[in-house]
Chains A and B, each alone.
Chain A
Amino acid sequence: MLWFDHIKRSCLVLFILLSVVLQAGCSVAPWERGNLAKTQMLIVPNPNRTALRRHVFDSKESSNGGMGAAGGGCGCN
């Protein structure tokens, strides 16, 4: 089954990455996180703009997911 293969593969990839990054990240002390706390370092620095662009991409492209922000409807032609 196609989707089962996808799950298996993605779990494996995730597991490997997880173990690598968990080790890598241990060294950052709380007081060293000033840069990480900046707005520009957020995963989504401007949620409204992201939601607007997502709406455009969702209605003009055939892929979706992975860009945050919830919503429904079409709003397209």
Chain B
Amino acid sequence: MAVINKGKRTLAALSCAAMSLPGMEAKAAVPVADPESNVQYGYYREQGDRMQAQVYHSDFILPFADRVELTFSTDFDTYVGATPLYSAPKEIPDAVSAASFNFDAAWHMSSFLTRPDDLSSDNPLATDTSRTEVKELQNKVATEISLREGPNYYEGFDSAGMFAAFIAGGPAGALAFYDAFIATNPSAKSQFLKEEKVVAIERFLNFSVDPLGETQQKMAQQPRESRTMPILGTNLYLGPVTLGFSGGFSNEPDFNSAFGSSHLSWEFNNKLSAISLGYSLTSNDITRLGGGHSAGHHSGFNEELDESSTFNSFTGGFSQVLSKNTLLQLNAGFTAQRGYLSNPYKFVYIRGEVTAEEYYDLVENTAVDDGDWAKYTDLEVVGIDIFREVRPEDRDQWFFATQLNQHIPALDASVHFNYRYYTDSWKIRSHTFELDWYQSLPFGMTVTPHVRYYSQSSAEFFGPYFLAPREDGHYSSDYRLSSYGKVSSGLSVSKQFAKGVRLDAGFEYYIHKGSLKMGGDGVGDYADITSYLLNASLNVNLSSLSSSMGDHKGHDMHAHHGAHPPAGVMAGHMLGKAGDLMVGYQYMYVDKAGDTVRGAHNASDESIVNNACAGKTCSSKAREMIMHMHMFNFMYAPTDWLNLMLMPKIISMEMDMEILPGADLDEAHEGAHLSEGLGDTLMMGLFKLYDNHRHHLHLGVGVSAPTGNIDATLSGLEGTDLQGYGMQLGSGTWDLKPSLTYTGQANSWSWGAQANATKRLQHRNKDGYALGDEIQGSVWGGYSFFPWLSASVRGVYTAQGSIRGEYDGESLLSAPTDFPENYGGEFWDVGIGMSVSPSSGNLAGNSFSVEWLQPVKHDYNGYQLEQDGSLSVRWGYAF
């Protein structure tokens, strides 16, 4: 840079600094200098027993080359709770609503139409209240018609004989003849059976509709489900132009989505203006096995589904610096959605789609199965007058948004105002207003109160219920397509710590009401709901860190920590210096498959059936169990002799059951069972006892908090039969976890040993049992082929007690996994591992290790599925 005098030099330097500062985009138009990482926890909850969701997010941004950065993020959600199924003008008796998981509309309708007298008293329907109502209704109609028709009422009635009796004996003679006919022909059928039934159906259906009544929402419990969404991306910085690409997928039991996006932004006009363009493509597969919501235990209810949809989305934006304190952004976008856009779990109530005559026809033409409905309606029938919703197969969406950021120097605050107008081809129009006040406070704090108002008009095919069929055949009663307004407000707090660590926490409360719609013509109050969102996140920005620590980065920090112990060793490594921080991630995979073992030997099915279920006969056994455990590790060294460690974890388990020969099918369960979510959280202190660079000894004192759910049920629905003990996500008790670790090294060799234990601090957890205590010893040796690459061999001995106590809740008690004595044992394993930890270059500070643990001799308590082995993968970054 040409420099003429000192004044200008200062100006030039300032200009350069300012030019390199983050501009108008969410990210600075320069790649990150060092890795950056975020973890976030979110909790969303609706009022009452409605939906609650937990969202775990983590991401990393890594510099890859001068102009390239890589991004990686994963999201893991679990959600459960009641959700609206449909709404109707009156509460419809349970037996005729589709809320029952065993609902079969055709079967129900035919059972209603069986002549009441033909139903034997031991038929369970005889005591069904809603059926009793229908029976009464039908009896009433029959009485009415028989009064109207007199002697003609009965088929084969001898009218001429009755006339003769009248001639001979007058009215009394005729009545006697009539009574004698009834007495001698108890099964005589009405000639007016069709009319009788059609009128009864008609009246029954009318009875279900009360146009003046309040709309009732029918809810369904949704089993616990989870979603995993990994996304990979890259950003290329080419001077004024930044190119971004990302792709990922989202997996749910019944909804798989793959997406890719590209983004371009171009800064010009001395970085005062920027244009951005984006395109994204999303492809969705909506699948469902017949039966319950996810693979499981419910029959009927859902037809098999295999549909897809594709979204093409285009966005364009322009942002402009208006003054040194003002920034404006304008955005517009278009999305074309094509394919299956309905929600397969939402129903609609439609009167007249199938008429009373058609219901009668269906029942009389006997063979009642799902296929028969096609004669009367194109919709999928899920209940009487209840159908699965159908939305159009295309939807064009537009939005126009603007954001104005105004900085107020006197208060060191910024105000963001945001407005969005949205419209789509389903005739939904919405307005969104948002105001955020970012207030800087001393000590690196920022407090942000915010308010938001949202108002939408309804989709043209929306109705709380439909009293007549629609011509276009599109229907939805999903309250999210109704006209309503929503007000929310919240507060978020952010605290910036030294060393590039930032903590954020926020709360937001939502009020969704039909009456809050702009202009006032919102839907009724039956769907009003309140909810809230909590979030907490940790951001670790190593760019700030390296600038605050000067030349600290890249120094040979590992030489004096000793080589890393094998990946499967927990708390085997300490940070070397006061002030050091480490973030890490550890993944563990455990596979149990194949034979059920008793002690150290395979057990036959016969032996399992007779002996593995505590005196009962076993009806199922596990065929395979797979566990994925994701552990997130945060370590901090307040002094050089103490490390504090926090390790939350997420667990995902799947167990595949099979039915044993000769099993009692009422109790047996087969197929895959899932259990996913947050596990127990470990908090630990590591105390350095001795360290002379060659030999190192430390003591770990840990406490495991029972944050893992121990109420996982077979169906996923709360309050139903619990899964086996091993499928629960936590111990349910506070546990003490002490450990003593020794490591040593000389030249290229390293070695170590650890003894650790798990002691349950409570006698029983809330479900009436406690997992067994555990002790473990392991010894390892390693050799470094290069300064950055080493291999290890480890021997491990583990002894685990069986479970004490037993479930006091509902459990099927039909498989070995349901019994406390079939847990624990003595295990000998050998581990083979590799470790990579560069001490210089771009990746310095990172360590990466992997270990496979192979069973050598296992002596199981009771009957258990044999373990094939386990894999541990560990990544850590110390700074």
Contact = CB atoms under 8 A, between A and B. Distances in A.
Contacts of B227: 73-75
A63 B428 contact: yes
Interface string A35-49: 111111111111111
B869 to A, nearest CB: 32
Interface residues of A, number: 59
B582 interface: no
Contact of B22 (A30, A42, A49): A42
Interface stretch (B77-85, B98-106, B757-765): B77-85
Interface stretch (B255-263, B571-579, B628-636, B811-819): B255-263
Contacts of A27: 323
Contact of A73 (B23, B38, B257, B456): B257
Contact of B480 (A44, A60, A67): A60
A21 B405 CA distance: 14
Contacts of B430: 61-63
Contacts of B21: 33-34, 36-37
B333 A6 contact: no
Interface in B427-466: 428, 430, 432, 438, 440, 446, 454, 456, 459
B683 interface: no
Contacts of B258: 72
B79 A65 contact: no
A43 B26 contact: yes
Contacts of A51: 57
B313 interface: yes
Contacts of A38: 407, 414
Contact of B322 (A24, A29, A40): A24
A64 B334 CA distance: 10
Given A6-B398, A66-B401, A75 B79 contact: yes
B397 A64 contact: yes
Interface string B483-513: 0001000001010000000001010100010
A33 B53 contact: no
Contact of B15 (A2, A31, A53, A55): A31
B399 A41 contact: no
Interface in B261-319: 261, 269-273, 280, 282, 284, 313, 315, 318-319
Contacts of A2: 425
Contact of B533 (A25, A44, A45, A53): A53
Contact of A48 (B315, B454, B537): B537
Given A62-B481, A70-B261, A77 B456 contact: no
Nearest to B226: A75
A70 to B, nearest CB: 5
Given A61-B430, A73-B252, A66 B320 contact: no
A12 interface: no
Contacts of A62: 424, 426, 428, 430, 456, 459, 480-481
Nearest to B21: A37
A48 B59 contact: yes
Contact of A33 (B59, B321, B531): B321
A70 B22 CA distance: 21
Contacts of B481: 62
Contact of B334 (A3, A67, A68): A3
B329 A73 contact: no
B69 to A, nearest CB: 14
Contact of A52 (B280, B399, B533): B533
B330 A17 contact: yes
B345 interface: yes
Contact of B259 (A6, A22, A72): A72
B726 interface: no
A37 to B, nearest CB: 4
Interface string B219-230: 000100101010
Contacts of A61: 430, 454, 456, 480, 486
B38 A33 contact: no
Contact of A65 (B246, B315, B492): B315
A26 B399 CA distance: 29
Given A14-B318, A30-B270, A42-B22, A66 B333 contact: yes
Contacts of B18: 30-34, 37
A13 to B, nearest CB: 8
Contacts of B75: 71
A36 B319 contact: no
Contacts of B269: 22, 25-26
Contact of B405 (A26, A41, A68, A77): A41
Contacts of B11: 31
A17 B332 CA distance: 13
A46 to B, nearest CB: 6
B259 A24 contact: no
Contacts of B259: 70-72
A46 B537 CA distance: 10
B650 to A, nearest CB: 15
A60 B409 CA distance: 37
Contacts of A47: 26
A40 to B, nearest CB: 4
Given A41-B405, A60-B480, A66-B331, A52 B42 contact: yes
Contact of B55 (A30, A34, A55): A55
B76 to A, nearest CB: 10
Contacts of B148: none
Name the residue among A38, A41, A73 with the largest chain B CB count within 10 angstroms: A73
A65 B330 contact: no
A40 B440 contact: yes
A74 B252 contact: yes
B324 interface: yes
Contacts of B83: 77
Interface string A3-22: 10010001001100110011
Contacts of A39: 446
Contacts of B504: 46, 48-49
A56 B44 contact: yes
A48 B71 CA distance: 13
Nearest to A42: B26
A38 B541 CA distance: 16
B335 A65 contact: yes
Contacts of B81: 77
A44 B26 contact: yes
A17 to B, nearest CB: 6
B774 interface: no
Contacts of A77: 51, 79, 81, 83, 222, 225, 345
Given A63-B432, A65-B313, A77-B222, A36 B324 contact: yes
B25 interface: yes
A73 B250 contact: yes
Given A3-B398, A73-B255, A30 B15 contact: yes
Nearest to A9: B400
B430 to A, nearest CB: 4
Name the residue among B25, B26, B53, B251 with the largest chain A CB count within 10 angstroms: B26
A61 B20 CA distance: 39
A28 B269 CA distance: 11
Contact of B327 (A31, A41, A46): A41
Contact of B324 (A17, A32, A65, A72): A32
A52 B535 contact: yes
> Which 10 pairs of residues, A with B, have the shortest CB-CB distance?
A73-B250, A66-B401, A37-B21, A40-B438, A72-B257, A63-B422, A30-B18, A44-B26, A21-B320, A72-B259
9 contacts: A17-B330, A36-B21, A37-B21, A40-B446, A43-B405, A48-B539, A51-B57, A72-B250, A73-B257
Interface of A: 2-3, 6, 10, 13-14, 17-18, 21-22, 24-49, 51-53, 55-57, 60-68, 70-77
Given A17-B330, A28-B321, A49-B40, 20 more contacts: A13-B400, A18-B318, A25-B320, A36-B321, A36-B325, A43-B25, A46-B494, A61-B430, A62-B430, A63-B430, A70-B246, A71-B248, A72-B249, A73-B227, A74-B227, A75-B53, A75-B79, A75-B229, A77-B83, A77-B345
